[in-house]
Structure 1
Amino acid sequence: MSTPADDGPYGFGERIEQVVAHHARLRPHAVAVQQGERKITYGELTERAETVAAALSRLRVEPGRHIAVRIPRSPELVTALLGVLRAGASYVAIDPQWPQARVEETLRGTDTALCVIDAPGARTVPAGAEVRTVTLASLLELGRTAPVPEPLYDGTATASVFYTSGSTGKPKGVLSPHRGTIRTLVNCPAIPLGRDSVFHQAAPLPWDGLSLELWAPLLNGGRCVLMDRAATALDAQGLEVAIRQGVNSLWLTSSLFSVLAEERIELFGAVRLLLVGGERVSVSNARRVLTEFPALHMVNGYGPVESTIFATTHVIRPADVDEGSTEIPIGTPVPRTTVALLGADGRPVADGDMGEIAVAGDGVALGYAGAPEETARRFFTRGGVRFYRTGDLAVRDAEGLLRYRGRTDHQFKIRGVRIEAGEVEAVLENHPEVTACCVVPLETAPGRVQLAAAYTTVHQQPLDEAGLTEHAAHSLLDAMVPTRLAHAVQLPLNANGKADRKAVEALLRRSAGPAGAATQQPTRDSPVLDDIRALLGAAHLAEDDDLVMAGANSLDVIRLAARVGARLGARLTASDVYRLRTARAITAHCAQAAPGEQLPAP
């Protein structure tokens, strides 16, 4: 068991809004949030947040209630989130682009008191959901004449509710405490942050990555630069823009880090703090980046959302990325955190033995919203200390560093998104013609993992793949929708009568190809088409085939935009690729696009 010694009081307070207010008092005119040319100072941000809090108090929102916030990435979103916290409530950040079915499930699961939207006419709660909707503008107007509620000081209370994939077929709302965010981002030795930190916020809004990227600078007097409101995902072009705005600190999923390291390594020259994680970090790509930029402070962060952002961190050393190295440690616990490795009997294992990671301390979630049985299954108390069983396996090496060794169940990650196979399977099996299915991650090319599903039907005939994909997209996030489908008359079973996942994986590998791939041959090749074929491992694709229907995921699109833009010397974004969809259209666009710009030397 490992525990950093740090039991003293939190220096600037143990609630998020307290610490932000502390920096607002010190430097009220410093820029807190920026998006494009828009800038909001600490003084302006905290004043608006107090106005929102006053309005929520007048609307009888009591401390401890959950408030949904369905506002696009913007300074208004930050105002609303901080205002909810100042009112003593907790926020549930909802992506405006989420499927309505998932929004309804989220609101129902958290017993939401209100839903805040940015303007009249914005996407609101689904019809039939018993949640009152208010605009941010109306709260700012109402709060002008209302008294500001008394501040709260208990950092063990819930700050935010993050939804993650659930094995029962429904997403789980994780109740994340204030202290969890602060213990990771304020005075954490592995993550040096200060008033000169300029952090980019680009993670999806419902993720705990939002907490990391937003509160990391604001809890330290720094500046948060929000990704453009219209952008679909962070890509090389978007990162260039952010760097020109002064961004020097980043969080990247391991998958996205690999794409940028392989396609646009020069982008890391302007970065001084790089946090990576969410999946295994590529040793070879970390080696390439640190060899090119040895002054870069690069940290491997590990932790499920139930441990609030990170449970452990490891500053990546030259020895970790030597030619003979095969893995990067996940390191040691962050402050005020305990990590134990447990055997099948629930007892700590001997040093050097593999065990399940259990996390305790100030970052451990308070449970799952509206799910006491699931909370009781995953959380336990021993010796008066509350732990969360992660399902992750690890060993502790001779240096005392934890090294990841896999999972105890069928949970995995695709593009940094945590996925429970059972949730995807439940949605697919809800299709009236599907009788059973089995979902597995499938590596179809080196470093390229797709979500794949084998399924059976009532009539023993395959379904239209576009229709089945559309059915899944109605309830699931983009990364949770399978991009490779295979029909089977019967799923292969193991000796226990359950789906044999290894045999299902073999079946999927034998399947014809990515969902929706075309079969006609091209009349002539082009450099863009060659890149798409190589990326997707689909030699049959033609100039006018839809690359998204051929199985391209968001990371493929980001990689393609970077690669083709560099090859043709044109400005090409991931949003452009999603809009254009074919090799022919992308080539035509690049022929007329503005030339790509060179970054200034670091």
Structure 2
Amino acid sequence: MYFDFAHATFADLDQAPEAPALRDAQRQISWAALRDATAAWKLRAQAAGISAGDALVISGHKQIEFVVAMLGCLELGVAYVPVDSINPAERLQRITDLVRARCCYDAAQDAFSAGAASPEPLAEADLAYVMFTSGSTGEPKGVQIGRDSVALFAGWIGDCLGLGERPVFMNQMLFSFDFSLFDLCGALALGGQCVLCPRETIAAPDDFVRYLADSRVQVWASTPSFVRQQFLNDTFDQAHLPDLRVFVFGAESLSAQMAEQLWARFPEARIINSYGPTEATCSTTWVEILPPLDGSARPLSIGRAKPYAELFLEDGELCIAGDHVMRGYLNRPDLTAQSLFLHNGKRAYRSGDLAAIDADGLVYFHGRRDDQIKLHGYRIELGEVDAALASLPGIRAAASVALRRPDGTLVRMIGFVETANSLPPAILGPLPASLADWKQQLATQVPSYMIPSELLACGLFPTTASDKIDRKRLEALYFDARKQRTKETA
């Protein structure tokens, strides 16, 4: 049995119905049980008043019920809106209001609840999901992805990657992070198993490895940063994970050095690198990384275009065309007009990513045009972080800066606030007493991955010639202050 994403239904019902389909920290269910659970969930959703063309906000973490709800939405023609429980209640409510959802479904509680005060069907037809990303103005942006786009993506996994029959996928990325669709679509489209890995399991490295080994996970998809964390655990290797044979990377730059470290742990593993913004249904390029490599920290190619995608450059900016491109931003025609255009009769998206394409069609990523970053796999607009920081008491202005390693990979995010105290211009100092619990205050507005690791007060912010906050100067001030502290404690 498998899930046919092109027709949004379970198929080959008599083929291995008792084979495992989903596992979470609590239980494992078969394909037959998954089909039955989805059918039962659909009846409950319809009884709650949900129908085709609606949006349904699904909250939770790594529960089997979350997946059941997503499949139920696809079968009903309802667009699902995934929101992980890491988000504060205020953000969940804001997203519910933005999509004007009639209902919400809490996967952890397996319960439906009322949605927006004035619910409305979505204006765009045949959407699979609406996924919210960080917005540069402080408002999250809803990316609308069509059902046909998801079908193309699932088909690519089956047609191009050669993962074999009924592969077992690890799924550790949040369902509100579109890269998690790789594991889910791959497992379900190929009749395999998706092993859901909650935060609590991952937090105990030895238990995490045992969980993966017991599940016989074969395919690992994550950011390079997540694998870098696993290198701290000596049991993260082929001896302890003998079934693990394919690593798929995305959302961040992958270096030759990183690939070689991974091969040292898993000598026979295949390594696949990929790239693609949420607006292009998870990924647009892919390439299999093959030895020998030079061991450098320079990023590797992010791959070639998929069969259904076209890539081209406009003034160095990577543009993506094809039926997998989004239908636009929810209720934001202004943003849609800035990002989408027609190219050879297909929707095309201006990615904001700077890139180069060589004679063989290999794409090399060279950074962002704007202030959007990807930190530990999460896409973050620094502007949204700035807006949250600026809402703290006694703050006149705020700015955030992403610190990078020499190879360009992001390490952490630092926040700066301009306060009403007497600090001289462009001088860093301690936070006022009102901000002693700034992390707790910020956690009521944004998810934890958008909270800077450190916050410093500054006199009047330095600015550029165009009167914008000079983030590079703030970064330099931070490093100067850190050097000074090191000297004083030496």
Q: Fold match, TM over 0.5?
A: yes
Corresponding position of 1:254 = 224
Structure 2 letter corresponding to 1:439 = S
**Distance of aligned partners of 1:470 and 1:339 in 2 relative to their CA distance in 1, 3 Å threshold:** same
**Relative to structure 1, is the Cα distance of residues 97 and 420 closer, same or farther in structure 2, using a 3 angstrom cutoff?**
closer
Q: Which runs of 5 or more residues in structure 2 are unaligned?
A: 424-430
Using the alignment, how far apart are the partners of 1:59 and 1:257 within structure 2? Answer: 41
Q: Which moved more, 1:98-107 or 1:30-39?
A: 30-39
Cα-to-partner distance string for 1:18-64 (whole Å, 9 max, x where unaligned): 3xx01445332222112257222212212221232233334442312
Structure 2 SS opposite 1:310: coil
Contact 2:103 2:114 in 1 (8 A): no
- Aligned-pair CA distance for 1:421: 0.9
Distance across 2 between alignment mates of 1:400 and 1:306 = 21
Alignment partner of 2:41: what SS? helix
Q: 1:241 to 1:538 in 2, by over 3 A?
A: farther
Task: Within 5 Å, give how 1:546-565 maps onto structure 2.
Answer: none
- The 1:388–1:236 alpha-carbon spacing in structure 2 relative to 1, beyond 3 Å, is farther
| 1:308 match | 281
Look up the match of 1:496: 466
Closer, same or farther: CA 184–221 of 1 in aligned 2, 3 Å: same
Question: Does residue 381 of the first structure (1) align with residue 372 of the second (2)?
Answer: no
Query: Partner letter of residue 17 of structure 2?
Result: P
| Structure 1 unaligned spans of 5+ | 1-10, 133-154, 344-354, 514-518, 520-536, 541-602
CA separation of 1:16 and 1:491: change in aligned 2, threshold 3 A: farther
Contact 2:213 2:242 in 1 (8 A): no
Q: Deviations over 1:177-209 (max 9, x none)?
A: 233333233344552334330011211131113
Corresponding position: 1:428 with 2:389: yes
What are the Cα deviations for residues 47-82 of structure 1, in whole angstroms up to 9, with x where unaligned? 221232233334442312111112342222222221
- Cα distance change of structure 1 residues 324 and 209 upon mapping to structure 2, 3 Å threshold: closer
Cα deviation per residue 1:558-584 (whole Å; 9 max; x = unaligned)? xxxxxxxxxxxxxxxxxxxxxxxxxxx
**1:460/1:495 Cα in 2 relative to 1: closer, same or farther (>3 Å)?**
same
| Matches for 1:516-527 after TM superposition, within 5 Å | none
Which whole-Å CA distance do the structure 2 matches of 1:246 and 1:107 have between them?
37
Q: Give 1:333 deviation, angstroms.
A: 1.2
Q: Secondary structure at the match of 1:216?
A: helix
Q: Which one-letter code corresponds to 2:368 in the other structure?
A: R
> Does residue 282 in structure 1 map to residue 255 in structure 2?
yes
- Letter in structure 1 aligned against 2:43: A
Aligned with 1:186: secondary structure? helix
Deviation, structure 1 residue 253: 0.8
Structure 1 counterpart of 2:374, which letter? Answer: K
Cα distance in 1 for partners of 2:353, 2:272 equals 20
Deviation at 1:105, TM superposition (A): 1.4
Which residue of the partner structure matches residue 272 of structure 1?
245
Aligned match of 2:136: 167
Counterpart check, 1:296 vs 2:269: yes
SS where residue 336 of structure 1 aligns? Answer: coil
- 1:45-60 aligned within 5 A: 45-60=34-49
Q: Give the counterpart of 1:356 among 296, 317, 334.
A: 317
**Equivalent residue for 2:418?**
456
Residue 8 of structure 2 corresponds to which residue in structure 1?
Answer: 17
CA contact (8 A) 1:184 1:335 kept: no
Mapped partners of 2:200, 2:487: distance in 1 = 30
Q: Is the 8 A contact 2:272 2:286 kept in 1?
A: yes
Counterpart of 1:299 in 2: which secondary structure? strand
What letter is aligned with 1:284? Answer: Q
The 1-side partners of 2:397 and 2:195 are apart by: 45
CA drift at 1:406 = 0.8
The whole-number CA distance in structure 2 between the counterparts of 1:216 and 1:538 is 53
Q: Corresponding residue for 1:592?
A: none
**The 10-residue stretch of structure 1 (183-192 or 306-315) with the greater mean CA deviation from structure 2:** 183-192
What does residue 244 of structure 1 align with?
A: 214
The 2-side partners of 1:233 and 1:539 are apart by: 36
Q: Which deviates the most, 274-283 or 253-262?
A: 253-262
Q: Which segment drifts farther, 176-185 or 270-279?
A: 176-185
The correspondence for 1:340, drawn from 299, 312, 325, is: 312
Partner of 2:117: 130
Residues 325-375 of structure 1, C-alpha deviation per residue, up to 9 Å, x if partnerless? Answer: 8331011112311111111xxxxxxxxxxx211112122111122222212
Structure 1 pair 463/89, CA: closer, same or farther in 2 (3 Å)?
Answer: same
> Which digits, 9 at most, give the CA deviation of each residue in 1:427-470, with x for residues without a partner?
11122311112211014899671111222013346334542222
Sequence identity (%): 28
Q: How far apart, in 1, do the equivalents of 2:298 and 2:110 lie?
A: 52
Distance 1:198 1:107 in 2: 33
**1:16–1:192 Cα change, 3 Å:** farther
Give the strand-richer structure, 1 or 2. Answer: 2
**How does 1:65-76 map onto structure 2 within 5 Å?**
65-76=54-65
- Measure the CA separation in 1 of the matches of 2:5 and 2:298: 39
Structure 2 partner of 1:225: 195
Does the C-alpha gap of structure 1 residues 14 and 539 become closer, same or farther in structure 2, counting only changes over 3 Å? farther
Call closer, same or farther: CA 1:509–1:39 in 2, change over 3 Å: same
Return closer, same or farther for 1:444/1:387 CA change in 2, 3 Å cut-off. Answer: closer
Residue by residue, what CA displacement relative to the aligned partner does 1:207-247 show, whole Å, maximum 9, x if unpaired?
11332222210111001112257446584531331122211
2:361 equivalent to 1:400: yes
Residues 12 and 100 of structure 1, relative CA distance in 2, 3 Å threshold: closer
State the superposition RMSD in angstroms: 3.1
Q: Name the SS of the counterpart of 2:261 in structure 1.
A: helix
Cα distance in 1 between the residues matched to 2:151 and 2:163: 12
SS at match of 1:406: strand
Q: Distance in 1 between matches of 2:263 and 2:43?
A: 48
**Which residue is 1:440 aligned to?**
401
Alignment of 1:35-54 (within 5 A): 35-36=24-25, 38-54=27-43
Q: What secondary structure does 2:8 align onto?
A: helix
Equivalent residues of 2:82, 2:176 under 8 A apart:
yes
For 2:487 and 2:282, the matched residues in 1 are separated by 37
The residue type paired with residue 170 of structure 1 is: E
Separation in 2, partners of 1:366, 1:239: 39
Q: Distance in 1 between matches of 2:262 and 2:202?
A: 26
Structure 2 contact 132–142 (Cα < 8 Å) conserved = yes
One-letter identity of the residue aligned with 2:165:
R
| Residues 323 and 346, structure 2, Cα contact 8 Å, conserved in 1 | no
Aligned partner of residue 509 in structure 1, secondary structure: helix
Verify the 8 A CA contact 2:87 2:448 in the aligned structure 1.
no
Q: How does 1:192-231 map to 2 (within 5 A)?
A: 192-228=162-198, 230-231=200-201
Kept in 2, the 8 Å contact 1:184–1:334? The answer is no
Q: Are 1:486 and 2:477 an aligned pair? A: no
Structure-2 separation of matches of 1:472 and 1:60? 35
- 1:587 corresponds in structure 2 to none
What's the secondary structure of 1:270's corresponding residue?
Answer: coil
Cα displacement (A) at 1:472: 1.9
Distance 1:131 1:220, change over 3 A: farther
Q: Is the 8 A contact 1:436 1:455 kept in 2?
A: yes
Report the Cα distance in structure 2 between the residues aligned to 1:257 and 1:120, rounded to whole angstroms. Answer: 31
